[in-house]
């Protein structure tokens, strides 16, 4: 659980900063950050899932 | 400085010409800030010292506050999980190369460095200090702490590197927002048939405010 939380925290910080250098307006900043966070977390999660599946098949 | 000379009005039935805006959006962002008496260089320095402080200085309080919570929180989490051992310049037991990423967060890294090198600092100040014992790298306790040390290194390095992006943002502005504002102003002025560069610069200055 702690690992998942820390993963989410790192993804959230990265998503916010990467959006902040493009967006200034608070209304757009929140929504865009959330979108980048979703893409980051889902992308990394999907990649980890694929690795797990391959590892299981190889085992 | 921001506005150029107004263009002649187009003839009836002619498409309104859209003037090219001189200079990059970042250059005009900096100029607009200077006209308000704010210095992007000072903002960058403040942002280097404390993540988010540069943005607060520029009047972008929400952005600065969220950045502070995320980056200082991440940095503090790294220090906590590694028990303060992840920031060190010691060539034997420290991580001097990781320091180049961690140093992006200036003051937190400075404080953590003072903590991990307290013996050397006390000696330099002429104070009495007990030399820390060398860690036994083969002991199960030390080996068991290594994953947490790696975790702490990761968090502090990410926070330092992300703060470099925020320092750049404080110094040069957000090109996406500036360009969008300019585009909106140019479209509006093209529709109304008035010169665009001055209104675009005004939009940029409005964004800086």
Reduced to 3 states (helix: H, G, I; strand: E, B; else coil), residue B46 is helix
DSSP string across chain B? ----PPPPPPPTTSPPP-PPPSS-HHHHHHHHHHHTT--HHHHHHHHHHSTTHHHHHTT-HHHHHHHHHHHHHHHHHHHHHTTT-SS---TTTS-HHHHHHHTTSHHHHHHHHHHHTHHHHHHHTT---PPPPPP-TTSHHHHHHHHHHHHHHHHHHHHHHHHHHHHHHHHH--HHHHHHHHHHHHHHHHHHT--SHHHHHHHHHHHH-
Residue A16's closest chain B neighbor by CA? B67
Interface touch B165/A21, C-beta < 8 Å: yes
pLDDT at B66 over 80: yes
Residue B77's closest chain A neighbor by CA? A6
Nearest one of A17, A33, A30 to B52, comparing CA atoms:
A17
For chain B, percent of residues with pLDDT exceeding 90 = 18
pLDDT at B52 over 80: yes
pLDDT at B171 over 90: no
Interface of A to B at Cβ within 8 Å reads: 6, 9-10, 12-14, 16-18, 20-26, 28-29
| pLDDT at B200 (0 to 100) | 53
Of A38-52, B7-21, B147-161, which range is least confident?
A: B7-21
| pLDDT at B65 (0 to 100) | 93
Interface touch A14/B155, C-beta < 8 Å: no
- What is the least distance, in Å, from the CA of B130 to any CA of chain A? 36
Is residue B165 within 8 angstroms of chain A, CB to CB? yes
Is residue B63 within 8 angstroms of chain A, CB to CB? yes
Nearest one of B18, B34, B40 to B196, comparing CA atoms:
B18
In chain B, which residues have their Cβ closer than 8 Å to the Cβ of A26? 62-63
Higher pLDDT, A22 or B20: A22
Interface touch A24/B175, C-beta < 8 Å: no
Question: Residue B69 to residues B87, B141, B174: CA-CA distances in angstroms?
Answer: 20, 32, 20
Interface touch B74/A13, C-beta < 8 Å: yes
ipTM over 0.90: no
| pLDDT at B198 (0 to 100) | 52
**Each residue's pLDDT tens digit, B107-120:** 989 998 888 887 88
pLDDT at B131 over 90: no
Higher pLDDT, B51 or A21: B51
Interface touch A17/B71, C-beta < 8 Å: yes
Alpha-carbon gap, residue B42 to B197, rounded angstroms: 28
Is residue B155 within 8 angstroms of chain A, CB to CB? yes
Higher pLDDT, B5 or B129: B129
Alpha-carbon gap, residue B2 to B8, rounded angstroms: 19
pLDDT at B71 over 90: yes
- For A49, how many CA atoms within 13 A lie in the half-sphere containing its CB? 6
- Quickly tell me which residue has 């109304």 as its tokens: B192
Of A7-21, A30-44, B89-103, B177-191, which range is least confident?
A: B177-191
In chain B, which residues have their Cβ closer than 8 Å to the Cβ of A16? 66-67, 70
In chain A, which residues have their Cβ closer than 8 Å to the Cβ of B166? 17, 20-21
B55-64, long-range: CB < 8 A, 24+ apart: B55/B166, B55/B169, B55/B170, B57/B170, B58/B33, B58/B170, B58/B208, B59/B209, B60/A24, B62/A26, B62/A29, B63/A20, B63/A24, B63/A26, B63/A29
């Amino acid at each position: 659980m702690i690992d998942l939380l820390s993963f989410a925290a790192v993804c959230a910080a990265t998503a916010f900063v990467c959006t902040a250098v493009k967006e200034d307006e608070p209304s757009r900043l929140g929504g865009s950050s959330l979108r980048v966070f979703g893409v980051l977390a889902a992308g990394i999660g999907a990649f980890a899932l694929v690795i797990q599946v391959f590892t299981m098949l190889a085992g | 400085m921001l506005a150029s000379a107004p263009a002649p009005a187009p003839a009836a039935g002619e498409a309104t010409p859209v003037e090219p805006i001189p200079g990059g959006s970042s250059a005009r962002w900096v100029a607009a800030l200077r006209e308000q008496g704010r210095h992007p260089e000072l903002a960058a320095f403040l942002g280097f010292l404390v993540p988010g402080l540069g943005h607060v200085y520029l009047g972008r309080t929400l952005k600065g506050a969220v950045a502070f919570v995320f980056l200082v929180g991440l940095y503090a989490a790294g220090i906590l999980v590694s028990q303060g051992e992840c920031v060190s310049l010691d060539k034997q037991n420290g991580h001097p190369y990781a320091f180049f990423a961690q140093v992006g967060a200036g003051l937190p890294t400075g404080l953590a460095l003072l903590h991990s090198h307290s013996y050397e600092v006390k000696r330099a100040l002429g104070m009495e200090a007990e030399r820390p014992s060398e860690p036994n790298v083969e002991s199960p306790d030390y080996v068991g702490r290594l994953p947490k040390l790696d975790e702490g290194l990761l968090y502090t390095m990410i926070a330092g590197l992300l703060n470099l992006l925020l320092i750049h943002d404080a110094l040069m502005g957000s090109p996406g927002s500036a360009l969008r504002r300019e585009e909106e102003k140019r479209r509006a002025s093209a529709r109304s048939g008035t010169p665009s560069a001055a209104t675009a610069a005004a939009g940029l200055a409005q964004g800086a405010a």
